[in-house]
Structure 1
């Protein structure tokens, strides 16, 4: 107990943003690692076809969940984070969520005959249950997110993922297949909702038309922007299912998930920074927004640049030894998606900042243009180039999205990139790539052990060179560790 208290006291000695980012990053890395191991297990035991059917199911869920949210989830978090009438906004958001849930279910019932993969009665009813549980989970999360209690939110997300994975692994082991994957998905959200519910501080109270109206403007543009994000995120999955088959969906989504590891830190900064940027904007502290956003980009690229470099060289081996021969055809797709994830870092942070400074309309404009372009490119490229075409469409639209988002953001918030640090990352990655090429020319990668050894060696080379060259970055990280009073850093 003394050891735990000592660790907690050291973590709490760090500044709030760094502390929350560190906690989020450590938990996210742990959850991500477990998630990847589970996906590898599913890939070997279920194959790409069943996984593809599950990814189609979750894609449809994402779309209808946004309809049931209507943008009011983000709007209520925004208004609650500003500290004015939080109970009233919380109450209004709950009322609206249940009304929109009913509308979403009706739309699903009408559209279900036309949705690829939702063809039997079991999936039909499972989808309605999933949508209902997702809405309840979203309601419970509003309080902790709006009051910037990111630790609780991260804990509930961790519980969500862990419960989901445990149930899914057990279900797959006993032969439940697709139904088991969906059951785990539902159970995880229930567990998350229970955790968030226990920490709700806001109270249900009387609200009036003005509270609905105050949220509606922000919600309208947030809803449209979220709809665009979903078209951007799931159009490729759904259109691959339409033009090709569920097996190709499974291969594409596995490659996408593997590529997403390179930008895993961006989700941490998104959840940590949004309520703070919202408050800084309300206080007109633009300089703090600029500094923090610049730092966030740098820290996200620390992992993204070397992972992309290594992934380009080892894509074929990664897909084969991690997921099996049936997924190896996704290696070229993986290379393109790795570059897309670098663009995703800028896109994600810039659009988050637009919403944080109360510019959801511009965020919508950016997302709408990108989403329409993404759909058009997918329709043109998938029939000709298959899943590689879908990956190319994703890369192009992410680049355009990031560029447009910054064009709208720049008049209010300029983001000076830390070019020296980024240059060191690129240089360190190039040396790492040379080491990998030299290693693979002498040692053939014949099993997972060889692959893991080369990846680990490349990572060590990259970080040793980076932290040797970039004194400023090293100092920033050392400062965080020193405040935690780690003996090997502080000299104790």
Structure 2
């Protein structure tokens, strides 16, 4: 598998995904306002949290075992059986607890919630199988389908008067398409389930599920706790939840490249680990980490200068309440960019147990800090809780990984990025004081100005310039006419 080529495909797909998703957020924010989004976002949060016991970490375990190229058919058949039973059980419990689900969501959505849970779980499992087959690049189109459906189907149904249900139906239709196309593309045959293969899957999954819990806690604990404060009438509104999640989604844009590289690199590192090619793994990590750091650092500085403008111009005045939370969340993407790669590497060398210990520790801290800090500081408290707990998670992952590999981080290049970002921030602030940002065009113009200043400065540093040429050169020559 060509890691660079596959990473580029995934990155391109995720840029399209981000454009679709972000366009949908902008459209729905302006059309329906923050309060309905305060129902839709908890729907997604609950979907992810309830999906954890339904999945039991089997998708990641299946990806790992299939990537090892040994008894793939038997592993797939066994994983399907193991996944169906808890999934159907969780769906039944969700239906039985329908009144509580509806109260949490603020709308009668339990039936649609269960249907979406079933379909999205099947689709996500298909993506894991494809990645295990080292066909990561082929999943690119599937990355775009769900947000595109959310935008197109959701908007059309909203115009027909379906309200917040339109957003959910859009997500549901996209999940159906992902599941259908994903399983159509899978080439591994479904073999006969065996107890031996079940034990092997559970041996890996028992720890990877904990890592998954940590990931979902990081993604959704803040929204979940904020929603509980809404239900309890404790000073948080559904409009606050909608504004906070929009800030969160805006901050996510800068991690696209790092996630694309990590997604591609996992099965390749798994294969290298099976071949005892430790030096290749050690060489790949800093090379893969640098591009992500070169993006998240200037994005954080830019958010300090433009946070209010980003939320107000893109979404509307009622979303500006989350401006300080946006700055904190953008800062949190710096340790996250490191963690994205480290956790994939630790799992790929078959140590999900250590990744699990790190995740469960930070997840517990995340929950505790969210309850305390939201109570005291509202939206900013949620952002601080999420950022602090994830920084700890990253540090623990780095500690564990250094026990098996020589971890070399690109400190000099990252330091130069900080300098270039500071100069860029000053330049953007100077321009910002001269104009009144009122339109999206003006906002993007000043962002492009900042990006041009930063790119010029960061590429003036020789090591960064050489690394960019070494990484992008083969790709440019391959895709050139």
Give the alignment's TM-score, normalised by structure 2.
0.94
**In structure 2, do the counterparts of structure 1 residues 139 and 22 end up closer, same or farther at CA, with 3 Å as the change threshold?**
closer
**Counterpart of 1:328 in 2: which secondary structure?**
helix
| CA deviations over 1:355-395 (Å, ceiling 9, x no partner) | 11111111111011101101100110101110110000011
The alignment status of 1:429 with 2:415, answered yes or no, reads no
| CA deviations over 1:327-347 (Å, ceiling 9, x no partner) | 011100100000011111112
Contact 1:90–1:142 (Cα < 8 Å) also in 2: no
Q: Please, what is the CA RMSD of the aligned residues?
A: 1.7
Query: Paired residue for 2:480?
Result: 486
The alignment status of 1:83 with 2:69, answered yes or no, reads yes
The alignment status of 1:465 with 2:451, answered yes or no, reads no
Deviation at 1:119, TM superposition (A): 5.5
Query: Paired residue for 2:346?
Result: 354
Contact 1:42–1:172 (Cα < 8 Å) also in 2: no
CA distance in 2: counterparts of 1:361 and 1:478, whole angstroms: 35
Question: Which of 122, 130, 144 is 2:130 aligned to?
Answer: 144
The alignment status of 1:102 with 2:88, answered yes or no, reads yes
Question: Which of 117, 141, 164 is 2:104 aligned to?
Answer: 117
CA distance in 2: counterparts of 1:379 and 1:63, whole angstroms: 17
Q: Which runs of 5+ in 2 are unaligned?
A: 230-235
Contact 1:355–1:363 (Cα < 8 Å) also in 2: yes
Question: Which of 370, 373, 377 is 1:378 aligned to?
Answer: 370
The alignment status of 1:267 with 2:267, answered yes or no, reads no
Contact 1:112–1:118 (Cα < 8 Å) also in 2: no
Question: Which of 180, 183, 191 is 1:197 aligned to?
Answer: 183
CA distance in 1: counterparts of 2:105 and 2:430, whole angstroms: 49
Contact 1:347–1:401 (Cα < 8 Å) also in 2: yes
**In structure 2, do the counterparts of structure 1 residues 29 and 119 end up closer, same or farther at CA, with 3 Å as the change threshold?**
closer
Query: Paired residue for 2:406?
Result: 414
CA distance in 1: counterparts of 2:257 and 2:476, whole angstroms: 22
Query: Paired residue for 1:68?
Result: 54
CA distance in 1: counterparts of 2:106 and 2:24, whole angstroms: 27
- Could you tell which deviates more after superposition, 109-118 or 226-235? 109-118
| CA deviations over 1:400-436 (Å, ceiling 9, x no partner) | 0000111111111232112232122222212211211
| CA deviations over 1:98-145 (Å, ceiling 9, x no partner) | 10112212332354444443465x401111111111222134334312
| CA deviations over 1:53-111 (Å, ceiling 9, x no partner) | 00000111001222211111111111111011000000001111110112212332354
Query: Paired residue for 2:284?
Result: 292
Deviation at 1:17, TM superposition (A): 0.7
CA distance in 2: counterparts of 1:62 and 1:345, whole angstroms: 21
| CA deviations over 1:217-271 (Å, ceiling 9, x no partner) | 1111111221232223211101101112321110110000011112121220221
Deviation at 1:478, TM superposition (A): 4.7
Query: Paired residue for 1:12?
Result: none
CA distance in 2: counterparts of 1:42 and 1:92, whole angstroms: 41
After TM superposition, the structure 1 = structure 2 runs for residues 51-450 of structure 1, keeping only pairs within 5 Å, are 51-115=37-101, 116-118=103-105, 122-243=108-229, 244-450=236-442
CA distance in 1: counterparts of 2:145 and 2:441, whole angstroms: 31
Contact 1:309–1:430 (Cα < 8 Å) also in 2: yes
Contact 2:24–2:150 (Cα < 8 Å) also in 1: no
After TM superposition, the structure 1 = structure 2 runs for residues 35-54 of structure 1, keeping only pairs within 5 Å, are 35-54=21-40
**In structure 2, do the counterparts of structure 1 residues 321 and 482 end up closer, same or farther at CA, with 3 Å as the change threshold?**
closer
CA distance in 2: counterparts of 1:47 and 1:421, whole angstroms: 42
CA distance in 2: counterparts of 1:119 and 1:385, whole angstroms: 24
Query: Paired residue for 1:4?
Result: none
**In structure 2, do the counterparts of structure 1 residues 134 and 467 end up closer, same or farther at CA, with 3 Å as the change threshold?**
same
Deviation at 1:272, TM superposition (A): 0.3
Deviation at 1:50, TM superposition (A): 0.5
CA distance in 1: counterparts of 2:106 and 2:254, whole angstroms: 35
The alignment status of 1:18 with 2:4, answered yes or no, reads yes
CA distance in 2: counterparts of 1:33 and 1:80, whole angstroms: 32
Deviation at 1:324, TM superposition (A): 0.4
Query: Paired residue for 2:232?
Result: none
**In structure 2, do the counterparts of structure 1 residues 224 and 110 end up closer, same or farther at CA, with 3 Å as the change threshold?**
farther
Contact 2:214–2:359 (Cα < 8 Å) also in 1: yes
**Counterpart of 2:190 in 1: which secondary structure?**
coil
